[in-house]
Amino acid sequence: MPKKEREKQRLITNLASEMAESNLAIFIGAGLSIPAGYVNWSQLLKPIAEELDLDIEKEVDLVALAQYHCNTNQANRGKLNQLLIDEFSRSAKATENHKIISRLPISTFWTTNYDKLIENSLIEAGKVPDVKYRNQQLAFTKPRRDAVVYKMHGDIDHPSEAVLTKDDYEAYHVKMQPFLNALSGDLTSKTFLFLGFSFTDPNLDYILSRVRVAYNKDQRQHYCILRNVKKLDNEDQADFEYRTRKQELFTQDLLRFGIKTFFIDDYTEITTILSELEHKYKRKTIFISGAAHDYGKWGKENSEKFVYNLSKDIASAGYRIVSGFGLGIGSSVIAGVLEHVYMNGGRLDNEQLILRPFPQPNAGQQNLKALWKDYREDMLSYAGIAIFLFGNKFSDGEILLSDGMKEEFDIAVNKGLFTIPIGVTGFISEKLWEELVDSNLFDRIPNSHEAKRLFCLLGDNENSLDDVRKLVIELINLLQ
């Protein structure tokens, strides 16, 4: 494996570990909003520079530029406020990066951005954001909140309060001390991933100075993703090497703040990293799909015992289970998880089991079949691995293959879950196993040869149910 790939996997593993312990926080800079269609600072302040007879391309300290405008207008920042409203109050479509981080189990977000992309993405993900951009808001807690969004430079709904000029930054430690205290606490207790920062971000120096004040000698490890310096068109080699050296020195300086940098060559790699992080997190959640009116050659007692022990083993291995309480399967799933939880002195919650019993009567205005599809979409959105067991139903006097399980299988495939039909249980699971055994399912995972060997054994009728149970746990562990 190339060095960069090893470093990327190490980064994802570390972030996933912190996220599993609810210790991961995200700090978002302007770079994450630009792909959504918002302007950067240079574009925002270009009219201001022209008014001052300055060339925006030559200006490095854009905070000073904003201050020059106020100085020449007797401290009136009305035009600046209008520029903020014009550029950041218009609606913009959230990027894939915003969508991914909003789906992850992250409860703390910090940003210097004025836009509403973070909170809107959280709402679209079905979460309740508690947004803070004024000192007074820190004293109140929004009911049933899922995440706190600290907008330390203000919100577009109140442009006159936005931190924008030198005056604003110089007074920040006095006017907004509660925010610095909150940030200090989070930097001490959480691991931060900094996204969307670059050398051209005028806020970076100010942010780092605040971060530096918040740290003590026992620093937590934080991470930052930056793009490697690229040679510009018609740029001299000496100038390019100068910028490269400056980047090296800058990232070495970040280590003083406990921030380790991971370099990318293209911004699309951020989406790849976040996607892999989401997949890694979701693979800790196992969806169990099953329905059985007929248990085939194994019989009811042996089959229920198998499902019970398999669910218990999955829970014991530290995985969370999602299930729809399938016919002849659901009770055994619950019993297996409960035994593990209570035997270890715990209590049952969403960290061990998410149960979604299907509504049966066709009440209300929504078609029952459509409602069931939405239900399946919701259940499978939690998981990264899907297990399929048996799969039949009794209808019109005969045993039929479960079309509901087939629908769950199709949804799982479309969502990118790793699907594990246990072929030896027969019925629709056997057909799904036969469909996958010679597919390219294994091409996209590490240890593909061993994973395929284990998968093939799940359809070998020479194996006992106890053998199969152990093979499933081994395969799930391998997929991590």
Q: Strands 398-401 and 392-395, how do they pair?
A: antiparallel
Among candidate residues 69, 98, 153, 222, the one labeled active-site is: 153
Q: Is 279 annotated as catalytic?
A: no
CA distance readout (Å), 23 to 220, 350, 389: 11, 18, 35
DSSP of 408-460: HHHHHHHTTPEEEE-GGG-HHHHHHHHHHTTSSTTTTSTTHHHHHHHHHHTT-
Contact call for residues 66 and 165 (beta carbons, < 8 A): yes
CA 351, 326, 100, 98 torsion: positive or negative?
negative
E strand segments, 306-345 = 320-323
User: How many other CB atoms sit within 10 Å of the CB of residue 40?
Assistant: 16
Contact call for residues 94 and 12 (beta carbons, < 8 A): no
Task: Answer left, alpha or beta for residue 287, where phi above 0 means left and psi between -120 and 50 means alpha.
Answer: beta
Helix, strand, coil shares of the chain, percent, nearest 5, are 50, 15, 35
According to DSSP, the residues that pair with 122 across neighbouring strands are: none
Tokens representing 260 are 């380790």
| Displacement of CA 401 from its chain's centroid (Å) | 36
Contact call for residues 317 and 337 (beta carbons, < 8 A): no
Task: Give the strand order in the sheet containing 285-291.
Answer: 353-355, 320-323, 285-291, 385-390, 418-421
CA 369, 293, 437, 276 torsion: positive or negative?
positive
Catalytic residues: 153
